[in-house]
Amino acid sequence: MPVGNMIVALEGTPASDTALAASIALQKAHGAHLTGYIALAERAVLEDGGQNWVPAAIRKSLRSAAEGAVARIEAQFRAATADLPEGKLHLIRGPRASDSGMAEASRFFDVTLVGLMGEGSPSTGLHPDRIALMSGRPVLAFPKGADTTRLADHAMLAWDGSRAAARALHASLRLLETGTRVTVVTVGEPKKTEVEADGLDPKTTLERQGLTADWITVPQGRGGIARTLLHHASVLGAGLLVMGAFEHSKFREDIFGGVTHDVMAQTRVPVFLAH
């Protein structure tokens, strides 16, 4: 089943522009309905409350600047999607830029497209990994300047046999096209399962969906699992990394780091996340 309904977060950042370009390409490929969701960090700052200590004139100036930014983002979306069917487009001015607000909106869509925060991005920007966790829906995250034309050419699936990995595998099938090449990569030895039989493996599952699949096992490199995965995505020339998110607790990942956290911080390739 192709993607039929998707939402893209519009933040006015280079990574957000990359996500918008990808959403337009996917709309054309799948004929999907595309919703733009304006999620501007500056609006969150103004609307969080507790700003009464700021002089009224300055608050008015900041609010005017934020509304001007919203208008520019809206105009950019309209111009970028001008050649798409009007009946397939929808634009929402989000009340604020927050992971929880974006997650609530995401629950009504097949996939959410979000730009990854780069160095120097505001702390109030969106976090694709948290949105996937809170929404229960898959998220497609884009680093600034990522190639958006090869998502369905060659995907790499990170597989450790976990619930999250299985969810990512099946959720990504909406995005991948028949004949897409998928390389399944397991870091370290595959986990033993209670039931082992022919056909109970990710390679067979993907091939039965009309995809071309290989399954390889690689040793963990010195930089950990995240860096190992990203290294092999680069070596394979993958246009997309598919992975489960937060097999361990989100709190632990935020404090101590983890595979999801590290991949989000280091990736140069689009990442499809499911939790």
Q: What is the mean pLDDT of each run of 10 residues along the chain (275 residues)?
A: 93 94 96 94 50 67 76 95 96 82 95 80 72 94 94 95 94 91 91 70 95 95 92 96 75 60 93 94
241, 248, 247, 238: which is closest to 263 by C-alpha?
Answer: 241
CB 121 within 8 A of CB 127: no
What is the C-alpha separation between 146 and 270, in angstroms, rounded? 7
Cα angle 127, 131, 136; round to 5: 160
Q: Which residues contact 7 (CB under 8 A, 6 or more apart)?
A: 34, 35, 36, 37, 105, 106, 108, 109, 111, 112, 113
What does the pLDDT read at residue 42? 52
What does the pLDDT read at residue 239? 96
Cα angle 255, 258, 262; round to 5: 105
pTM: 0.87
Domains parsed from the chain with CATH numbers: 5-142 (3.40.50.620), 154-249 (3.40.50.620)
What is the C-alpha separation between 154 and 123, in angstroms, rounded? 33
What does the pLDDT read at residue 122? 47
Within 10 Å of residue 175's Cβ, how many Cβ atoms?
23
Cα angle 204, 258, 114; round to 5: 75
